[in-house]
């Protein structure tokens, strides 16, 4: 192990060379570290954005594909089936991977999925019930045909409106899984309707639905839950569309209750469920979930949208930055290896005599190369350790400056509206600002991964840049080295 | 029994279209306890002979036996590490180590048993050659030529080997120091039963050896 001591002695006695090599290593390490930090920051920003945007995916119509096929004559408009009315169903769309109930249920059968919900709305009429109105706060019954109510079908145990805080169950319960799956006639009504009509849990009432070929079907529902709504509806919309648009006049019934209205199972399967949400367990699994879904069904007339437009708009410049910084790291590493390799080659060449002496006294070639590698490695480790202070300061500032400028550009371009008009994206500017705020607080300080990457790179640089020139010299035998020098 | 036996050793190189032989069917037996000098004009192959004897170069023909064993079977690296030491004209000490560290270095490398602690042993050895502790702990670059050569000789003896090969060891020294160094070599042969082979140009040095050899036409000839 004396080769280690020789290495230390060399470093101590050749201070000039040691400092020069150390300085070069430090410069390289700072650039590499800065590059790694920027790359790391952009990765984190991507993850943070994905998390901020959320783990919700919508299974929406791909109108472009549908219209394209229609224009090309591949798809006949008449073949699409019943595209009119409140409840739309189409076998063609179902087979073409559109967002139908059957396809939706197939997609959500995944380990990535935390919860899901679909909602389909249609109107029902009740002759016996009083409707909630804004004017008098007292119920009214529409003309002689009865009061119109909005029905929202749901498939999740707890409908989405309740999980996102739009509504709150005040008494009773939600439908059980069994009731949802078997489509039992259970219903959730709003507390104002309950009060106006003196309805209590366990009561039943009858409504008339006409979603199937305009035939009226009377159905009795049992109240299992009473809720309070927090949804505020624009009065102008109510003025145009009527009081049934008020969220108080909404009934929640299980999706499969459509069977009791007279729909066949196959017809229910083909119902378009464009208002849906799939909540994943982890937002970072969105791409994997999409891939899995596309393996299950060929999603032609549908599209899984995870606010991709917003994500791409926010992340495009940052992704580019990450890629550029990655390329820079490689270029710096290669250039660094070449510079250090050159210096080491010159140093090793100068030390031919020493190599000859050591070989002449019986030292093994391996130990001689190990000594040289150790010398450079010690310098590299010290330089790279120092760079964890200087480089992290530099990298953090560069990352912050670059991320801030990228975010500002992103923020500006996000507000031009292009990002929000596609698909079913519905987030408002506040949400975008929230996302950007979270993104700009991304932790871009040094972490063990970056340090390990840096250490690995430093060691690789020192080993590569030393071993190659050393091996070149080692090709000579000691006599050649010593006689060339002595002659 | 001889310590080093050269049997029909030949060595040459291609010069233009023909092969020029440096050593030609050379056979000779070197013995312990004797101080040999090898004389010969420049280019006669003295250094090549020493390199072959010291395992720095392989023979092209013939063989080299150390205590009856073929050095190719021992392995050249191991042979250099365990059985011999070199003393060079240029001293060939490692410049960034002190005198004592140069000596300890070979103690650490060799497989031979050397009394520990190495530093103390090295200091004692250096002291025997007139290098006191204060000098021994200096960088070798701060020692005179004579002192450096004494350090090189001490390094040669530090590994307890029986064969010492020296290439013009006094070539860079003044007459007084040269005499002192030759005295040491004689002492090594007589008092320590070593085999010392010195390549030299100097008739004066040669006259002090037990056996004077001349390398002529690729062969070793005893002058007396």
Q: How far is A23 from chain B (nearest CA, A)?
A: 22
Quick check: A377 pLDDT over 50? yes
pLDDT band at A403 (very low <50, low <70, confident <90, very high): low
Return d(Cα B224, Cα B214) in angstroms, integer: 10
Q: What does DSSP assign to residue A418?
A: T
If DSSP codes are grouped into helix, strand and coil, which group holds residue A213?
A: coil
Closest alpha carbon to B89 in B176, B141, B167: B167
The answer to whether residues A298 and A321 belong to one domain is no
Q: Where among A271, A306, A341 does a domain terminate?
A: A306
State in Å, rounded, how far the first CA of chain B is from the last one: 20
* Cα Rg of chain B (Å, integer): 17
pLDDT band at A444 (very low <50, low <70, confident <90, very high): low
Residue B78 to residues A412, A482, B82, B163: CA-CA distances in angstroms? 74, 19, 6, 14
What pLDDT, on a 0 to 100 scale, did the predictor assign at position A421? Answer: 36
Look at the block and give the residue holding tokens 């391996």: A366
Quick check: A213 pLDDT over 80? no
Q: How far is A387 from chain B (nearest CA, A)?
A: 29
- The most confident of the ranges A4-13, A335-344, A451-460 is A4-13
Domains of chain B: 32-58+75-222 (3.40.50.300)
The answer to whether residues A300 and A385 belong to one domain is no
What pLDDT, on a 0 to 100 scale, did the predictor assign at position A145? Answer: 64
Contact A361 B80 (CB under 8 A): yes
Least confident segment among A46-50, A257-261, A263-267, A482-486: A482-486
A179 or B27, which is more confident? B27
The answer to whether residues A298 and A324 belong to one domain is no
The answer to whether residues A43 and A63 belong to one domain is no
Contact A361 B106 (CB under 8 A): yes
Quick check: A321 pLDDT over 80? no
Q: Where among A289, A306, A323 does a domain terminate?
A: A306
Mean per-residue pLDDT over chain A, rounded: 78
The answer to whether residues A239 and A296 belong to one domain is yes
What percent of chain A has pLDDT above 90?
10
The β-bridge relationship of strands A215-229 and A147-154 is unpaired
State in Å, rounded, how far the first CA of chain A is from the last one: 33
pLDDT band at B6 (very low <50, low <70, confident <90, very high): very high
Contact A360 B86 (CB under 8 A): yes
Shortest CA distance from A7: residue in chain B: B96
Q: How many CA atoms lie within 13 A of A179 on its CB side?
A: 21
pLDDT band at B132 (very low <50, low <70, confident <90, very high): very high
Least confident segment among A122-126, A253-257, A468-472: A468-472
Element spanning A220, H or E: strand A215-229
pLDDT band at A422 (very low <50, low <70, confident <90, very high): very low
Task: Yes or no: say if A129 and A197 are a contact pair by the CB < 8 Å rule.
Answer: yes
The answer to whether residues A384 and A408 belong to one domain is yes
pLDDT tens readout for residues B57-115: 888 899 999 999 999 999 888 898 889 988 887 788 999 999 999 999 999 998 888 88
- HEC-encoded secondary structure of chain B: CCCEEEEEEEEEEEECCEEEEEEEEEEEEECCCCEEEEECCCCCCHHHHHHHHCCCCCCCEEEEEECCEEHHHHCHHHHHHHCEEEECCCCCCCCCCEHHHHHHHHHHHCCCCCCCCHHHHHHHHHHHCCCCHHHHCCEHHHCCHHHHHHHHHHHHHCCCCCEEEEECCCCCCCHHHHHHHHHHHHHHHHHHCCEEEEECCCHHHHHCCCEEEEEECCEEEECC
Contact A477 B90 (CB under 8 A): no
Tell me if the bond preceding B117 is cis, omega within 30° of 0.
yes
Closest alpha carbon to B220 in B72, B11, B3, B1: B11
Quick check: A79 pLDDT over 70? no
Mean pLDDT of B154-166: 88
Quick check: B192 pLDDT over 80? yes
Burial class (CB in 10 A: 0-12, 13-18, 19+), B141: exposed
Return d(Cα A327, Cα A390) in angstroms, integer: 22
- In this complex, the residue of A9, A479, A485 whose CB is nearest that of residue B51 is A479
| Tokens representing residue B21 in the block | 């032989």
pLDDT band at A424 (very low <50, low <70, confident <90, very high): very low
The answer to whether residues A182 and A247 belong to one domain is yes
Measured between beta carbons, the chain A residues lying within 8 angstroms of B108 are 1-2
What pLDDT, on a 0 to 100 scale, did the predictor assign at position A426? Answer: 41
Q: Please tell me the total count of domains within chain A.
A: 2
Contact B96 A360 (CB under 8 A): no
Return d(Cα A146, Cα A130) in angstroms, integer: 8
Q: Where among A257, A288, A306 does a domain terminate?
A: A306
Q: What does DSSP assign to residue A337?
A: H
Task: Yes or no: say if A465 and A344 are a contact pair by the CB < 8 Å rule.
Answer: yes
- In this complex, the residue of B80, B92, B105 whose CB is nearest that of residue A6 is B105
What pLDDT, on a 0 to 100 scale, did the predictor assign at position B105? Answer: 92
Quick check: A313 pLDDT over 70? yes
Helices (H) and strands (E) in chain A, counts: 18, 10
The answer to whether residues A63 and A208 belong to one domain is yes
The answer to whether residues A300 and A316 belong to one domain is no
pLDDT band at A416 (very low <50, low <70, confident <90, very high): very low
Mean pLDDT of B207-223: 89
A73 or B192, which is more confident? B192
Quick check: A83 pLDDT over 70? no
pLDDT tens readout for residues A23-63: 888 888 888 777 777 777 777 777 777 777 667 888 998 88
Least confident segment among A57-71, A386-400, B103-117: A386-400
In the β-sheet with B4-15, what is the strand arrangement from edge to edge? Answer: B18-30, B4-15, B61-66, B69-70
Quick check: A473 pLDDT over 60? yes
Shortest CA distance from B47: residue in chain A: A483
Contact A482 B92 (CB under 8 A): yes
The answer to whether residues A275 and A319 belong to one domain is no
Measured between beta carbons, the chain B residues lying within 8 angstroms of A478 are 56
Find which of A478, A483, A484, A485 to mutate to test the B interface (most B CBs within 10 Å of its CB): A478
Measured between beta carbons, the chain A residues lying within 8 angstroms of B96 are 9-10, 12-14
What pLDDT, on a 0 to 100 scale, did the predictor assign at position A423? Answer: 35
Structural domain including A378 reads: 2-54+311-486
DSSP A252-310: EEEGGGHHHHT--HHHHHTBB--SEEEEES-GGGHHHHHHHHHHHS--SSEEEESSHHH
What pLDDT, on a 0 to 100 scale, did the predictor assign at position A419? Answer: 38
A480 or A118, which is more confident? A118
| Burial letters A176-200, b for 16+ CB under 10 A, else e | eeebbeebbbbbbbbbbbbebbebe
Task: Please provide residue B208's backbone torsions phi and psi, each rounded to the nearest 5 degrees.
Answer: -90, -5
The answer to whether residues A64 and A208 belong to one domain is yes
The ipTM of this complex is 0.84
Closest alpha carbon to A271 in A212, A326, A203: A212
Return d(Cα B30, Cα A87) in angstroms, integer: 111
The answer to whether residues A152 and A26 belong to one domain is no
Look at the block and give the residue holding tokens 């378009």: A272
| Burial letters B56-79, b for 16+ CB under 10 A, else e | bbebeebebbbeeeebeebebeeb
| Tokens representing residue A449 in the block | 């991964």
Return d(Cα A105, Cα A180) in angstroms, integer: 13
């Amino acid at each position: 192990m004396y080769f280690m001591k020789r290495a230390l002695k060399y470093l101590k006695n050749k201070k000039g060379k040691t400092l020069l090599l150390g300085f070069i290593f430090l410069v390289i390490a700072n650039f590499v570290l800065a590059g790694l930090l920027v790359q790391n920051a952009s990765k984190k920003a991507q993850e943070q954005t994905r998390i901020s945007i959320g783990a919700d995916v919508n299974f929406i119509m791909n109108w472009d594909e549908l219209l394209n096929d229609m224009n090309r004559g591949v798809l006949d408009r008449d073949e699409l089936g019943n595209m009119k009315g409140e409840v739309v169903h189409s076998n063609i769309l179902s087979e073409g991977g559109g967002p139908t109930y059957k396809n939706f249920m197939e997609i959500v059968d995944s380990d990535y999925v935390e919860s899901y919900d679909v909602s389909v709305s249609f109107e029902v009429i009740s002759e016996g019930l009083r409707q909630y109105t804004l004017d008098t706060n007292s119920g009214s019954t529409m003309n002689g045909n009865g009061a119109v109510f909005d029905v929202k079908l749901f498939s999740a145990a707890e409908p989405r409106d309740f999980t996102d805080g739009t509504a709150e169950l005040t008494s009773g319960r939600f439908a059980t899984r069994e009731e949802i799956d078997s489509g039992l006639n259970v219903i959730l009504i709003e507390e104002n309707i309950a009060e106006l009509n003196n309805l209590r849990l366990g009561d039943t009432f009858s409504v008339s639905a006409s979603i199937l070929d305009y035939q009226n079907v009377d159905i009795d529902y049992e109240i299992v839950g009473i809720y309070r709504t927090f949804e505020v509806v624009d009065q102008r919309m109510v003025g145009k569309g009527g009081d049934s648009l008020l969220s108080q006049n909404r009934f929640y019934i299980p999706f499969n209750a459509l069977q009791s209205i007279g729909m066949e199972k196959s017809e229910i399967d083909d119902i378009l469920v464009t208002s849906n949400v799939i909540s994943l367990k982890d937002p970072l699994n969105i791409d994997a979930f999409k891939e899995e879904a596309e393996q299950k069904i060929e999603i032609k007339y549908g599209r899984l949208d995870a606010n991709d437009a917003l994500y791409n708009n926010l992340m495009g410049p940052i992704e580019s930055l990450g890629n550029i910084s990655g390329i820079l790291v490689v270029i710096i590493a290669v250039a660094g290896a070449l510079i250090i390799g050159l210096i080491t080659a010159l140093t090793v060449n100068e030390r031919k005599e020493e190599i000859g002496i050591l070989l002449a006294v019986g030292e093994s070639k391996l130990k001689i190369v190990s000594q040289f590698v150790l010398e450079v490695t010690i310098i590299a480790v010290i330089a790279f350790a120092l760079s964890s202070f200087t480089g992290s300061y530099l990298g953090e500032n560069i990352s912050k400056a670059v991320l801030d400028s990228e975010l500002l550009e992103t923020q500006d371009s996000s507000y031009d509206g292009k990002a929000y008009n596609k698909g079913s994206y519905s987030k408002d500017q506040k949400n975008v600002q929230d996302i950007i705020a979270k993104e700009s607080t991304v932790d871009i300080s040094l972490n063990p991964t970056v340090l390990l990457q840096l250490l690995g790179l430093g060691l690789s640089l020192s080993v590569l840049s030393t071993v190659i020139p050393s091996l070149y010299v080692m090709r000579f035998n000691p006599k050649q080295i010593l006689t060339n020098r002595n002659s | 029994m001889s310590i080093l036996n050269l049997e029909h050793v030949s060595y040459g190189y291609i010069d233009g279209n023909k092969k020029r032989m440096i050593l030609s069917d050379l056979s000779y037996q070197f013995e312990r306890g004797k101080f040999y000098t090898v004389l010969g004009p420049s280019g006669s192959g003295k250094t090549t002979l020493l390199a072959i004897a010291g395992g720095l170069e392989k023979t092209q023909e013939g063989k080299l036996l150390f205590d009856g064993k073929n050095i190719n079977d021992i392995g050249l690296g191991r042979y250099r590490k365990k059985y011999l030491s070199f003393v060079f004209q240029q001293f060939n000490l490692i410049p960034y180590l002190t005198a004592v560290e140069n000596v300890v270095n070979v103690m650490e490398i060799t497989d031979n048993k050397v009394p520990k602690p190495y530093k103390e042993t090295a200091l004692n050895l250096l002291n025997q050659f007139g290098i006191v502790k204060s000098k021994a702990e200096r960088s070798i670059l701060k020692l005179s030529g004579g002192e450096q050569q004494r350090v090189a000789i001490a390094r040669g003896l530090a590994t307890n080997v029986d064969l010492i090969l020296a290439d013009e060891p006094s070539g860079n020294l003044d007459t007084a120091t040269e005499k002192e160094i030759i005295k040491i070599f004689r002492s090594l042969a007589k008092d320590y039963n070593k085999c010392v082979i010195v390549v030299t140009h100097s008739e004066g040095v040669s006259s002090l050896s037990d056996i004077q050899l001349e390398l002529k036409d690729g062969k070793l000839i005893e002058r007396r």
